[in-house]
Chains A and B, each alone.
Chain A
Amino acid sequence: MTDPAKTGAETLAGVKIFSDRLTVDAEGKLHIAGVAASELLERFGSPLVVGVEDTLLRNFDRIQEAFATAWPGPSAILYAIKSNNTLAFRHLLSRAGAGGDCFGLGELRATLDSGADPARIALNGSDKSPELILIAVMHGVTINIDDAEEIDMIADAAAQSGKRARVNLRLKILPEALGPYMGGSTQRHGQGIASAKRAKWGLSPASATEVATRLLQMPSIDLAGFSVHIGHLSNRPEAFAAIAAEFGAAVLEISTALGLRPRILDLGGGWAREREPEQRGAPVDRVTIETQATAAADALAFALGPLADPANGPLPELWLEPGRYISGNAQVLLATVGSVKEDCGYRWVNVDISTNDLMRIETGSFEYDILPASRMHDTPTASQEIVGSTCFRSVIGAGRNLPSLGRGDVLAVLDAGMYAEVFSTQFNSVPRPAAVLIGTGGEVEIMRVRETLVDVFASHRVPDRLRQHEKE
């Protein structure tokens, strides 16, 4: 992962992607959007999550443009807030025109409150409650139906709110062509296509046809289209093309059988980034979003046949639900070195973050790029184990070739914008870090307050009868 001969600055030059706002000054200090990492820690404390507005918005613009170009009809980007639920991010994206992909009340409320256009919000989930569906229908949010049981709940919600409910049907799409691409993030759930079959989501085309037949007879429900989401499994354009082709074929079959013309086709998320901690140390493989978008859009249009022929009417609006692509590199996690121990042929560098802050290391064997932010020009001198201090092993990076680090040095972990804070835990009763946002003008503002002991135990109650012995 880290070339033994490379300085931090050289490593950065090798892994940098278009929207990173990372530079190195003459003294070897890493700057994030123009502000020195060390200065950020002095002002806001360590550890610190640093969000970069320009990176977030540049990622959004690029994926929006990629699909606008690749798909001959209209398209919309629905940000998957599950990847990063920072409210400031969600507001920035709403101002830029992003819709939202939501699960559950917590995500739906945050998305609606941020001012996202409800007509571009999709409610997903394999197990939606009646209360949740009612709120979605009241606000004009589109429900991606995942099970026939939802139909009655939606009809009730429509009757109760007096609004017509807009829905898509989530299809279970299992192209055999995906097989070779499914060894990565899904390997814990079984190899290849067996894993997708076992997953809880979606309706088979046959079930979807039955459900659609019912829906078409219900005036209070507007069946707008179909959705699919396999999730991140590969950055190969062939994988996205395989999903889009199978999805398009299923949509065509159902639509032909029922004589309907979908207005929305939602291709879901998992769009690959150029630098991906989930690659687990594999070299940066720069498959651009344009390549993925073109592969998917072409395959979809081809499979849809008459449904994608402008001669037959307007093309469906293409919806995308990217999370990681937009948020992945929009946060950098800064940490400070504490105790360093050398023994048994190893050198352990303790830092004040832990895998609590990067839980995908524990759950998905993510490998993150780690830069020596206070010594970017120093030659690496030692293989070092970068460890958090919790009572787990908490290995942030094993055997990293870095300049010899000492107490007070600063490290920067890239790509901490996706599935990091949203999965963070308070294990060992450790309060979670603060987050700041660096604006396009270089202004720095707090967007998440550092937790304290009070936050860790905010929900706990000790019954009086157990307090008795303290007084004795």
Chain B
Amino acid sequence: MHEIEPNWLTRIGGRPDDMAVDEKGTMTLGRLPADWLVQEYGSPLYVTLEQVIRDNVRRLREAFDRHWPTGVDLFYAIKTNNCLAIRSVLTSEGVGGECFGDVEYRATRESGVSPDRIILNGSDKTEHALAAAVAGNSVINIDSLDEIEMLSRLATSEKPVRVNIRLRIAPSGLDGFDASFFKNGGTASESLLAAKWGFSESAAAEIVAKLLADPKFDLLGYSTHVGRFTSDPAAFGVVGRDLARLTRALRDRTGFWPRVLDLGGGWPRLREPESRLPDASIHDIDEHVAAITLALHEGLDGALPRLWAEPGRYLVGNAVVLLSNVTTIRSEPGRRWIHVDASTNLLMRIETSRSWYHILPASRMTAPITGNATIVGPTCIPSVLGADRPMPDLRRGDVVAIPDAGMYAEVLAPQFNGMPRPAGVMIAPDGSVDLVRRRETYEDIYRNHLMPSRLVASPLPT
């Protein structure tokens, strides 16, 4: 357990992601010391590393370039992290947008994405969102019969609306993979069958026929999205085979051959909090892309369609590090609690999905480990960020760093216990720092509360 100068960055696995340790033993992010960032911008602090995002885009594109003749068109899933500055970085990389609902659609557009490079998803799209998408010549991944009816009202034969049909991929071939991440128990295929998204083969066949007969629709192809539940590339092969099988079966029933296959998101990362494991995956993105494209090459017997992907976590998961000050430290025989000023409010996937995050002693990266400690947030729930973690001696004012806070963290943050949400900064490749999210105040917590006048005017008990 005891070791001299633990090499934290090697231990956590994955790529360096612009994290390093300086000669003082302090963790640096984009070459800036973590403790300096906290002194300058306050704690807790979400720190975004712009270069990491750009590298992720390039790596994902290169993987598809190697394995598919037309490469891939990327559409960023803004649900993962809706930081507008991050969206703007992705826009400058030429990444389109994957959106749910009016607000994500508007945010994506306002970041400069051309509306014809936006996909609208959702199991229950509002007429308002559909109208905006039709007006912008965006692509709609159809997931209900209602939307066909609404789109038929909104579109015209002169300017047909571009659509994909969302297919339900639930092959029993997935049942060999651990599906414990899916919450409803049972096997992967049972879980995917019970989920609200997508059309079965027979339902899709009817819709294909209907849309082909309606000049107001330009049916591009199919979309699917299984979502991340395993990092095993073989599972991506299973999905690819099932998508190819459905594509052929629907061609046999309707004569339609897709120009586009939208493979959705859930592209696995090396360090993955949702794996609930400290060890990084041994499978890099090239293997996942190779597995699914090989299955498509083998299974498709018509002209190869263009491939689309809707990555979220892959592009931003490792691009944000959460920094937090150490506050109270308490020891009992056999136990040590290290309080930090970040709570599970800021990493809600710990509460919802038992996500497992690395916690690094950013201000003492070379100090010897002296025993286990439980890292806790201050809130009135247990707020355990990490249980029984080997840690050096830390004291009030030290800084801890939690990597991989770029996905499903800020977007899921509640203000439980009246806690304002933290600030965010972005470090540019040249080392300059910009505030990209201002720290909330107590006024922000209550800004939408109103007091009926009769309550304000009433005398208080004495």
A contact set with B: CB distance below 8 Å: 81-82, 85-88, 91-92, 94-95, 97, 103-107, 109-110, 115, 117, 124-127, 129, 147, 149, 188-189, 197-200, 204, 207, 338-341, 343-346, 348, 350, 352, 359, 362-363, 385, 387, 389-391, 393-395, 398, 407, 422-432, 437, 439, 445-451, 453, 455-463, 465-467, 469-470
Contact = CB atoms under 8 A, between A and B. Distances in A.
Given A343-B199, A462-B88, A91 B382 contact: no
Contact of B124 (A339, A345, A426, A455): A339
A350 B143 CA distance: 12
Contact of B352 (A85, A104, A362, A439): A362
Given A88-B451, A348-B123, A425-B414, 12 more contacts: A85-B418, A91-B455, A94-B461, A106-B418, A198-B335, A391-B77, A428-B103, A428-B411, A447-B449, A460-B437, A461-B436, A462-B111
Contacts of B412: 425, 427
A340 to B, nearest CB: 8
A463 B436 contact: yes
B112 interface: yes
13 contacts: A91-B455, A106-B442, A198-B382, A343-B168, A344-B168, A350-B124, A359-B348, A428-B104, A429-B78, A429-B100, A429-B107, A460-B83, A461-B435
Contacts of B31: none
A104 B411 contact: no
**Which of B335, B413, B414 has most A Cβ within 10 Å?**
B414
Given A200-B374, A343-B203, A423-B414, A95 B449 contact: no
A346 B450 CA distance: 41
Given A103-B379, A455-B448, A198 B455 contact: no
Interface string B89-101: 1011000000011
Interface residues of B, number: 99
B424 to A, nearest CB: 8
Nearest to B183: A393
Interface in B377-398: 378-380, 382-384, 387
A448 B448 contact: yes
Contacts of A346: 193-194
Interface string B404-432: 00000001111111111100001010000
B15 interface: no
A461 B438 contact: yes
Nearest to A472: B112
Chain A interface mostly helix, strand, loop or mixed? mixed
A341 B145 contact: yes
A416 to B, nearest CB: 15
Contacts of B382: 189, 198-200
Contacts of A338: 124, 126, 146
Contacts of A105: 418, 442
Nearest to B126: A338
B85 A460 contact: yes
Contacts of A423: 414, 416
Nearest to A83: B380
Interface in B319-373: 327-328, 330, 332, 335, 337, 339, 341, 348, 351-352, 354
Contacts of A462: 84-85, 88, 111, 436
B85 A461 contact: yes
Given A339-B144, A391-B100, A460-B85, A200 B456 contact: no
B328 A127 contact: yes
A103 B83 contact: no
A461 B434 contact: yes
B79 interface: yes
Nearest to B108: A429
A5 to B, nearest CB: 24
B200 interface: yes
B232 interface: no
Given A341-B196, A343-B168, A448 B450 contact: yes
A429 B101 contact: yes
Nearest to B408: A427
A117 B461 contact: yes
Which residue, of A87, A106, A446, has the highest number of chain B Cβ atoms within 10 A?
A106
A390 B414 contact: no
Contact of A393 (B89, B196, B416): B196
B254 interface: no
Nearest to B349: A362
Interface string B103-143: 11011000110000000011111100000000000000001
Contacts of B434: 461, 463, 465
Given A389-B124, A431-B103, A127 B184 contact: no
Contacts of B460: 94-95, 115
A466 B101 contact: no
B448 A82 contact: no
B195 interface: yes
B381 to A, nearest CB: 8
B196 A459 contact: no
Contacts of B421: 459
Contact of A149 (B84, B328, B437): B328
